[in-house]
Structure 1
């Protein structure tokens, strides 16, 4: 399940502009395909797999929804960013710049959530192995791999 933001038309020229621009571009935030590389013996897909298992839970791993929490906590910031996109839509480069700013903010929100999330806590055996009680940080690689990109309709990064 991919997190999404729904835009509902409530009238006004600004909303039409934002809907048009968002039809032409997309913003992706997370561990992005093609953006991360293997490290040592660890295959690149491993980081995304660990992130998904933590986000939704898997087997004995409880759900620790860092992506969903970050987006939920920052709904107002997302709306503000989208409003800035609409206000700058008359200048395409400026609108893309606003999307880039929103992407950077969202990347930072998700990274901060990974750092701050404390529940459910790790099992005592995991805390002893990691020497840390932070449930989502072991080496810090997953947090580091959270990135964003703005893409145009044909799938090219802007």
Structure 2
């Protein structure tokens, strides 16, 4: 009688799937303008508005939210994008880090588009004269260029 060696392996990948789920739970993505340079202050001023005292007068910069409004407008799209990409992760065709990098990159593009397209409230005529542009959030493009993301691991 011939002897047959049989080796049983975990073909349903339960342990591997558990590890992926644990990894998903321990990751998040943060999007914004990070650091401490002048663009962090510029972003904050435009996101929430500000009144600046100059000599005897004041300059009021109205709220021109580009982070919160993009989140409100695009959140459902981002969730759907995440879900569609998640399928690849659960099939072991993509790793978790890549999933969050793709989500972060998509969020950055959407926020940058918002900065480019935002036109209200408009700049004051004196600001338009000075900048030679009516786009309220673009002067040099520095603010838009500094929108970025980071994947955070807990």
Short-chain TM bin? 0.7 to 0.9
> What is the TM-score with the length of structure 2 in the denominator?
0.74
Q: Rg larger in 1 or in 2? A: 2
After TM superposition, give the deviation of residue 53 of structure 1 in Å.
Answer: 0.5
Secondary structure of 2:95's match?
helix
Give the corresponding residue for 1:67. 67
Contact 1:122 1:133 in 2 (8 A): yes
1: CA distance between counterparts of 2:112 and 2:148?
9
Structure 2: where are the runs of 5+ without partners? Answer: 1-17, 52-59
1:28 corresponds to 2:30: yes
2: CA distance between counterparts of 1:105 and 1:134?
23
1:55 to 47, 52, 64: 47
> What is the TM-score with the length of structure 1 in the denominator?
0.72
Structure 1: where are the runs of 5+ without partners? Answer: 1-15, 34-43, 154-158
Runs of 4+ residues deviating >4 angstroms: 16-22
Distance 1:84 1:94, change over 3 A: farther
Count the aligned residue pairs. 128
**Structure (1 or 2) with the greater strand fraction:** 2
CA RMSD between the two structures: 2.4
Q: Deviations over 1:108-150 (max 9, x none)?
A: 0000000000000000000000000000001100000001111
Contact 1:85 1:99 in 2 (8 A): no
